[in-house]
Amino acid sequence: MRRLLATVLVLALAGCATTGTTTDKTKMAEGYYGRGLSHLQSKDYEKALVEFQRSINTDPKYKMSYYATGMVYDLMGKYGDAEKYYREALDIDPEFSDGHNALGTVYMKQKKWKEALKSFQRALNNKLYATPNITYVNMGDVYMTLEDYPKAAEAYREAKRYASQDYIIYRLGMALMKAGSTKEAIGEFQEGVTLTPKNSEMRLALALALLKEGNKRSALVEFRKVVELDPQSDSAKVARDYIGTLDPSAAKKQKTL
């Protein structure tokens, strides 16, 4: 769902075609769709829905307008309507992986975990799916909610295989730590810190993993770095509490500064 505006090709309507051919109808539908996306970018949901509906009325087989309509209803919290339009897009193209992924996220928001996992797997069955990493992350998030940490780690690992990004590495590290694989988690967090050295949440996670592993000295280094990088953040508050426990004298000095 969140990839729609960044991945679809917006085709402008060059003129009002009147031949009634399939090609002309599709071009007109694409034009309405493009105007709908413009309204969606400015968060004018009502106008976006009007344009997407015009697109659907013009060419009932143009799946992207059903998909975009579903996204608008999803953003509005109207999950039943969102599900309806995502399904209509999938009726047109059963191999539409973005549609299956979007439907899965709607199920997630309704805590329909089995249905969500089924939709995500359906999206991944398409070998031509351009961004399976997004669906693997969603799948991992479901397993984290269900506290099935080994399966969550497996899903995040697959996501990382397609896109080694900091938010994926962070999730993988957290899943591994929850699963009891602390050493592996440390490796992931260290990779994440190398990738994004100023990411205070990543450093806090690394510090906690190091502490869990019994490496208090290295943990203290990371806790202090968290405070240095983002002193007003929630991560810094947590880090200060640990610093106060692990090194009370240093904590007293910080208070007097």
Instruction: Write out pLDDT tens, residues 167-199.
Output: 999 999 999 999 999 999 999 999 999 999 999
- From CA 111, how far away is CA 173, in angstroms rounded? 24
What pLDDT, on the 0 to 100 scale, is given for residue 250? 60
Give residue 24's pLDDT band: very low, low, confident or very high (50, 70, 90).
confident
Whole-prediction pTM = 0.86
Domain locations in the chain? 1-130
Q: Write down the residue that tokens 């208070």 correspond to.
A: 255
Distance CA 38, CA 172 (A): 35
For 111: left if phi > 0, alpha if psi spans -120 to 50, otherwise beta; the answer is left
Percent of the chain's residues with pLDDT above 90: 86
CATH no. of 1-130: 1.25.40.10
The alpha carbon torsion through 54, 59, 62, 67 (nearest 10 deg) reads 30
Can you say whether residue 43 is alpha, beta or left, with left for phi > 0 and alpha for psi between -120 and 50 degrees? left
DSSP state of 233: S
Contacts of 127 (CB under 8 A, 6+ apart): none
For 14-35, letters b (16+ CB in 10 Å) and e give: eeeeeeeeeebbbbbbbbbbbb
Please give the span between the terminal C-alpha atoms of the chain, in angstroms, as a whole number.
48
- Give yes or no for residue 225 having a pLDDT over 70: yes
